[in-house]
Chain A
Amino acid sequence: MRYLPLTPSDREQMLAKVGVASIEDLFLDVPEIARLDGPIHDLPFAQGELAVERHMQRLSNGSVAAGSVPFFCGAGAYRHAVPASVDHLIQRSEFLTTYTPYQPEMAQGTVQTLFEFQSQVAGLLACDVANASMYDGSTACAEAVVMAARVTKRTKVVFSGGLHPHYRRAARTLAKHSGLEIAGLPIAINDEAAVLAAVDQNTACVVVQCPNVFGTLTDFTELAKAVQAKGALLIAVFTEAVAFGLITPPGEMGADIVAGEGQSIGNSLNFGGPYVGLFATKDKYVRQMPGRLAGETVDADGTRGFVLTLSTREQHIRRDKATSNICTNSGLCALAFTIHMTLLGDKGLKHLAQLNHEAACEAADAVSSIQGVELLSDSFFNEFAVRLPGDAAKAVEAMAAHNVLGGVPYSRLRQEPGFENVLLIAATETTTAEDIASLADTLKKVI
């Protein structure tokens, strides 16, 4: 077995040193009824690299890779061009095969990159402080909701109808068991007024999204003020981090907590994970935050260094009184994010965001010029919603048969009467003019 260094004679010598006759003697605490007499049945035995690679390659061939066809799926996961150096660097042994920097003196590489990551995220979102990452955008959103309840000591949560339905479900799962009351507003492309109307004296937070799941951009500045005047917090969610190269960031709109998905910078689609949740807030709430935080300090010689800090919020210290149960986060995905962001810089990010917006504008024009297709988003970043004359899921299946991955039907996210015909279409810098022409041609054919 290529991964196991012990030889049979090593094992014999070591058993002798331990003072037992056989390996079985080390498992005597296992109840007799649960002791197996050999390897577990119904599973294959060890295989060499070649055989394993063949098996996995065969499986991989069973999927249609996004890069092999005209591709327009978004709805929370976006296909971007990631520089080759990003994947090379994150595979360096010293990053890949290390762990949470519990011993900072031998993990300065990790802690400093987390500090830089936090700084970049805070700048991107225009917030005071960001943590060292969450699992993904949806779990970041869920944690933001329970944090808002802690901060305000209130128990009602208002979800905008423009929030990504998976985020809404994930947040609901966590919130309802924390004793919170959920006020989910009807699905809507823009429901700012309804959100404010739903806020009462017991409301801990409202959860809004920009760009929202239909791509629509909304200025929450006035809403944030109004919500805060009623003693509640505004949580701003996003699923496409590249957007903030071009659109007003949630911190500038006065959001109290910002939670969203960082996948689109540095990370592949990966069929939904692993991704990297971004989480930021105002300075005054930092001690109520979930997740790891890297901070600056000095060593015994006065040299600058970095450590994990404010850990009295966390489960390994506070146990049942912790702000969250989170332990492992998305270290390597956060590293990919921060490397890609460093390569882009402010200038590159703005340029990239502009390319995305232009591709989406062109796709929107091409699609909405088709007879019977109605553009639902009057403003958007790189994703927009259209209403087709018929069922959107069927249209997407039919387009897939023509080798075009033409977007995400809203019904895939949530089965909502009246939204069966809604299709979400995303375009990025990877989208070509030919891709857009294929999309328009194919959509015209199938509807």
Chain B
Amino acid sequence: MAMNNVGRPTASVANDAAAPTTFSGARGLLQPTSLIFETGSIDRTGVDLPPVKGVTARLGGLARQTSTGNPGLSEPEAVRHYVRLSQRNYAIDLGMFPLGSCTMKHNARLNEKMARLPGFADVHPLQPVSTVQGALGVMDQLSHWLITLTGMKAVALSPKAGAHGELCGMLAIRAALDAQGQAHRRRVLVPESAHGTNPATAVQCGFIVDEIKAAPDGRVDLSDLKTKLGDDVAGIMLTNPNTCGLFERDIREIADLIHASGGYFYCDGANFNAIAGRVRPGDLGVDAMHINLHKTFSTPHGGGGPGSGPTVLSDALAPFAPVPYVVTRADGTLDLVEHEADSDGEPFGRMVAFHGQMGMYTRALTYMLSHGADGIKQASEDAVLNANYVQACLKEHMSPAFDGVCMHEALFDDSWLEGTGVTTLDFAKAMIDEGYHPMTMYFPLVVHGAMLIEPTESESKASLDAFIASMTGLAKAAKSGDTARFTGAPYHAPVKRLDETRAARKPVLKWAPPVEPAKIAAE
């Protein structure tokens, strides 16, 4: 059957006119969105529940008399609302997401499927341990992988995210110092290139932060470190590979220095993904290190969590690990030590209700089993190779912050933009128009106008080449005076550049019903 196309034009017509504003507010596939408070209603619901029975309430006179004010949507409306919103997000599944320090690698869907198995997802944290042997098995096997990959003595699984893992490691250090009668050691050395979480964590543990300078090669300035050592130093918090994407080549010496002075070595493991399977932090003299399961072992970032920050501990710190933890009984069954009094060690306490991020443990273990010791090593190597390839291809157009090879991320400063009228922020916004999530910008603080690019091992060479071509095009445009491309960017995103100053000056942090025009007139 032939289609009836009588009168239908078959060729496109060239049209240079500006795009008209649509009547619907849509822009083709990009649908308009509103807030649920504008489309929902207080008496609508998208959940069908059985009728109530009318049992006499036993609420002790505390029955709620007010509305929550939260509107409901029917299921089709709700699904459409969230699908439309989702289409205003960029994601790894759409394209390269080179956000340095955040490790946006592919999230395998097998991991999602496994996390939803009922023996993990539909078990309560306080069921009798005899009924949760499978869930405890995941924790036990994950611990084995983490301890073996890091060459450490023990792991505390319960920290809920990277910063929480930092807290765990630093509290273990504090407990160890207290146990040695060294409670006066309160100063913690933190390089100025560190993640903001490091100094914030140290302060939460009751420590005082003392910054160490960076050397011109982007690494810790050893001479500055030596001058800051003393018998009041509790330890050092050092990221390795560091936030400049460089391996701290003096790390053994740093560890020896800090140990000789009576302090401990906390390693921020945010960048473990560059060396996992190739280097064991235990061989570098580390006493405690958190591991971001959502980075190195690819549990999904979910728009800002949940994370998971298991913290590996050295022989010296292992006895101070917090409760709860898993143990194997003589009969081979697994058990939980949940009370400090039941522990053989000297736990510094408890960090969370229950046992930590089980849903992330299952995903990370699935990742590990899929990759194996060989695949984890290969993944680290590919991540490092990809970053070096990007650096090598872009260094003629942009200015690398430091000479030489990098680890898993390539860091540029903004000196190459000097005189163009384009800032790092403008450049980042222009990348949005190119269809890329911008790199991390203005971090680390030690590099002016920093641009930190982390491609991860998930990108193919073709994907990297496309990215490099786009970045090269932008770099040339910036230098050739095509300033408007940057300062007005993004042009092609669902919204234009957003006014962050206004948001902070007069914060609107929740929806409020619009004031009726009559009321405004009356005032």
Contact = CB atoms under 8 A, between A and B. Distances in A.
B302 interface: yes
A346 B71 contact: yes
Contacts of B376: 39
Interface in A309-336: 309-312, 314-322, 324-333, 335
Contact of A352 (B47, B203, B405): B47
A351 interface: yes
B477 interface: no
B111 to A, nearest CB: 9
Contacts of A151: none
| Interface bin, chain A | 35 or more
B279 A36 contact: yes
B119 interface: yes
Given A42-B148, A47-B369, A92-B86, A297 B500 contact: yes
B36 A320 contact: no
Nearest to B92: A97
Contacts of A2: 370
A246 to B, nearest CB: 6
Which residue, of A49, A210, A252, A343, has the highest number of chain B Cβ atoms within 10 A? A343
A76 B283 contact: no
A85 B131 contact: no
B49 A326 contact: no
Given A1-B371, A65-B118, A396 B128 contact: yes
Contact of B499 (A83, A297, A381): A297
Nearest to B77: A342
Contacts of A339: 78, 82
A346 B134 contact: no
A298 B497 CA distance: 9
Nearest to A31: B252
A79 B124 CA distance: 8
A31 B249 contact: yes
Contact of B58 (A65, A122, A379): A379
A95 B303 contact: yes
A327 B66 contact: no
A357 B85 contact: no
A379 B503 CA distance: 44
Nearest to A251: B66
A358 B133 CA distance: 33
B286 to A, nearest CB: 10
Interface stretch (B11-19, B38-46, B478-486): B38-46
Contacts of B124: 66, 71, 73, 77, 79, 269, 271, 405
Interface stretch (B225-233, B313-321, B357-365, B413-421): B357-365
Interface in A248-307: 248-249, 252, 261, 268-274, 286, 292-301, 303, 305-307
A271 B358 contact: yes
Nearest to B132: A63
Contact of B496 (A57, A301, A380): A301
B169 interface: no
Nearest to B119: A60
Interface in B353-411: 353-360, 362, 365-366, 368-379, 381-382, 384-386, 388-389, 391-393, 405, 407
Nearest to B464: A14
Contacts of B437: 103, 106
A130 B305 contact: no
A297 B353 contact: no
B60 A217 contact: yes
Contacts of B42: 345-347
B163 A14 contact: no
25 contacts: A39-B277, A40-B149, A49-B110, A53-B110, A64-B132, A65-B122, A100-B304, A135-B305, A135-B306, A177-B204, A246-B59, A247-B63, A269-B121, A272-B356, A273-B357, A274-B358, A293-B507, A296-B503, A318-B196, A325-B203, A328-B294, A333-B302, A335-B303, A345-B71, A350-B64
Interface stretch (A19-27, A200-208, A224-232, A436-444): A19-27
B46 A343 contact: yes
Interface in B239-281: 246-249, 251-252, 275, 277-280
Contact of A328 (B81, B161, B372): B161
Contacts of A380: 58
Interface string A45-84: 1110101110111011111111110010101110100010
A315 B200 contact: yes
Given A31-B252, A119-B511, A273 B355 contact: yes
A105 B494 contact: yes
A310 B507 contact: yes
B43 to A, nearest CB: 5
A219 interface: yes
Given A65-B122, A77-B126, A116-B511, A173 B349 contact: yes
Contacts of A249: 64, 66, 68
- Give the size category of B's interface with A: 35 or more
A99 B47 contact: no
B130 A400 contact: yes
What 10 pairs between A and B have smallest CB-CB spacing?
Answer: A345-B72, A379-B60, A272-B354, A332-B302, A60-B119, A62-B134, A272-B125, A331-B304, A274-B306, A93-B93
B123 A98 contact: no
Nearest to B190: A320
B35 A246 contact: no
Nearest to A129: B509
A130 B510 contact: yes
Given A77-B125, A358-B52, A378 B60 contact: yes
Contacts of B378: 1, 4
B400 to A, nearest CB: 12
A13 interface: yes
B167 A325 contact: yes
A355 interface: yes
Contacts of B126: 73, 75-77, 408, 412-413
B448 interface: no
B318 to A, nearest CB: 18
B123 A309 contact: no
B137 A354 contact: no
B221 interface: no
Nearest to B60: A379
Contacts of A341: 70
A345 B68 CA distance: 9
B67 interface: yes
A138 to B, nearest CB: 4
B137 to A, nearest CB: 5
A385 B33 CA distance: 46
Nearest to A84: B75
Interface string B425-439: 000110010000110
B341 interface: yes
A166 B484 CA distance: 56
Interface in B7-38: 33, 35-37
A444 to B, nearest CB: 19
B405 A5 contact: no
Q: Which interface residue of B53, B72, B305, B460 has the most chain A CB atoms within 10 A?
A: B305
Contacts of A104: 495, 498, 500
A97 B93 contact: yes
Contacts of B176: none
A108 interface: yes
A19 B396 CA distance: 14
